């Protein structure tokens, strides 16, 4: 029961015993005993009385950041690694650190090791308080088996937790990046208090997390949500999955960057020409920054991807009839630019009576939401007993 209690406090914040009993579906006497044990062991703190509702005011409790473990959050995408150290209340003990990393390169595993070691060597890191490491990464992640089927079985990234355990004597857990972002959005973001929502991770690729009745839906063996590989593209371009016609080849930040690179090579002018000539356009947020500076080529490239994303969203509306669709991930920073194109495509391709029932929103959580997703994942899997 302690596992469920700690998780409920992390996800829901300050609660009374009655609130907690209702949230985890346990009796008040059994919850009261467990709460008393957790207060004695300093996992929880009393936080005073709840506001008066006319009767006896209930005592509220909260996770005790002073005595609970710290957690290393690691967010990996195709071109970078973000790491941070958080306490149990999501306060950054060590703020996010970013380093370049090409996930498909032979150096990727060593880069992940170095990124984690940088946190452990930081002067603000108390190694004795590290509870676990939570890693989120793109690919076909089986979070139960802790493997990533997007890599060969002899690649250290295939079973990344086991590979890292040989180096770091710390519990390590892994989750798909889009699934973790969906949990973060449904807990802390725009999908909070929304039982049925879709969260799109608009990043170098395009991912999807599916929330059904307030729970992450993962499908038969954990791979539900491969939105990017729906065959909606009319181009014959080969996708990273090995198939042709996938949505991702037209609706992602990588697609937008490829478009910019090709146009610059054809002679079109852009403030991104320097990055293209140096072959570093994929390593940072240059495309996003150029769009905000009004670069026509960057805006055109992003709009093309956003329009195709909207076409894919129309398909999701028809299939799943969600209450909300949240655009999250790195690309959500471009909300004011991409939203009109997404809406235009939805109006064009979705049945109006269905589209009218779905609210499409841009995430307001920070662009390093994947780190928050890493925290949600590790809190869920950590052994609080």
| Domain residue limits, the chain | 2-63, 70-180+370-381, 193-364
Q: How far is CA 283 from the centre of its chain?
A: 19
Asked if the 193-364 domain carries CATH number 3.40.50.150, the reply is no
**Res 284 pLDDT > 80:** no
Could you give the CA distance from residue 36 to residue 117 in angstroms, rounded to a whole number?
A: 37
92-96, 139-143, 324-328: least confidently modelled range: 139-143
What CATH class does 2-63 carry? Answer: mainly alpha
Q: Considering the entire predicted model, what is its pTM?
A: 0.90
Fold entry, domain 70-180+370-381: Nucleotidyltransferase; domain 5 (3.30.420)
Which pLDDT does position 52 carry in this prediction? 66
- Give the chain's mean pLDDT: 90
Alpha-carbon distances of 65 from 258, 368, 377, rounded to whole Å: 45, 22, 18
Instruction: Note whether 2-63 and 70-180+370-381 share their fold.
Output: no
The DSSP letter of residue 154 is: T
Strands (E), the chain: 15-16, 44-49, 59-63, 70-76, 80-86, 92-100, 130-137, 141-142, 147-148, 172-176, 197-202, 206-212, 215-217, 324-328, 359-362
Of 210, 209, 206, 211, the residue nearest 229 (C-alpha): 206
The DSSP letter of residue 269 is: -
Of 201, 195, 190, the residue nearest 216 (C-alpha): 195
Task: Say if CB 131 and CB 69 are below 8 A apart.
Answer: yes
Could you give the CA distance from residue 325 to residue 362 in angstroms, rounded to a whole number?
A: 9
Could you give the CA distance from residue 306 to residue 303 in angstroms, rounded to a whole number?
A: 5
Which pLDDT does position 94 carry in this prediction? 96
**What is the pLDDT averaged over residues 198-210?**
93
Q: How confident is the model at residue 279 (pLDDT cuts 50, 70, 90)?
A: confident
The per-residue pLDDT for range 4-25, each reduced to its tens digit, is: 898 888 888 898 888 889 888 8
């Amino acid at each position: 029961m302690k596992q469920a209690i700690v998780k409920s406090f992390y996800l829901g914040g300050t609660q009374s015993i009655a609130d907690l009993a209702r949230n985890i579906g346990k009796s008040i006497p059994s919850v009261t005993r467990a709460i008393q044990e957790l207060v004695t062991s300093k996992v929880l703190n009393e936080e005073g009385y709840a506001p008066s509702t006319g009767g006896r005011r209930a005592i509220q409790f909260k996770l005790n950041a002073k005595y609970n473990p710290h957690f290393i959050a690691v967010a990996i995408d195709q071109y970078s690694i973000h790491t941070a150290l958080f306490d149990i209340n999501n306060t950054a003990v060590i703020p996010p650190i970013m380093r370049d990393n090409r996930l498909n390169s032979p150096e990727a595993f060593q880069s992940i090791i170095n990124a984690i070691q940088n946190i452990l060597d930081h002067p603000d890191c108390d190694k004795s308080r590290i509870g676990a490491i939570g890693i989120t990464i793109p690919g076909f992640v089986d979070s139960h088996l802790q493997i990533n089927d997007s890599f060969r079985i002899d690649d250290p990234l295939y079973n990344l937790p086991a590979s890292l355990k040989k180096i770091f004597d710390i519990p390590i857990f892994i989750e798909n990046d889009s699934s973790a972002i969906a949990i973060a959005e449904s807990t802390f973001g725009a999908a909070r208090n929304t039982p049925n929502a879709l969260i799109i991770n608009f990043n170098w690729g395009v991912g999807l997390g599916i929330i059904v009745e307030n729970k992450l839906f993962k499908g038969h063996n954990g791979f539900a949500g491969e939105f990017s590989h729906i065959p909606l593209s009319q181009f014959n371009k080969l996708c990273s999955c090995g198939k042709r016609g996938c949505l991702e080849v037209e609706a992602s930040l990588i697609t937008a960057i490829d478009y910019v690179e090709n146009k610059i090579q054809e002679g079109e002018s852009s403030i991104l020409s320097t990055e293209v000539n140096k072959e570093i356009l994929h390593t940072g947020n240059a495309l996003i920054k150029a769009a905000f500076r009004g670069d026509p080529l960057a805006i055109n490239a992003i709009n093309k991807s956003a329009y195709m994303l909207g076409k894919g969203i129309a398909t999701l509306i028809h299939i799943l009839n969600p209450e909300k669709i949240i655009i999250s991930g790195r690309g959500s920073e471009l909300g004011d630019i991409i939203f009109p194109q997404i809406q235009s495509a939805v109006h064009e391709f979705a049945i109006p009576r269905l589209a009218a029932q779905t609210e499409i929103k841009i995430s307001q959580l920070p662009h390093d939401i994947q780190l928050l997703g890493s925290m949600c994942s590790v809190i869920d899997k950590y052994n609080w007993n």
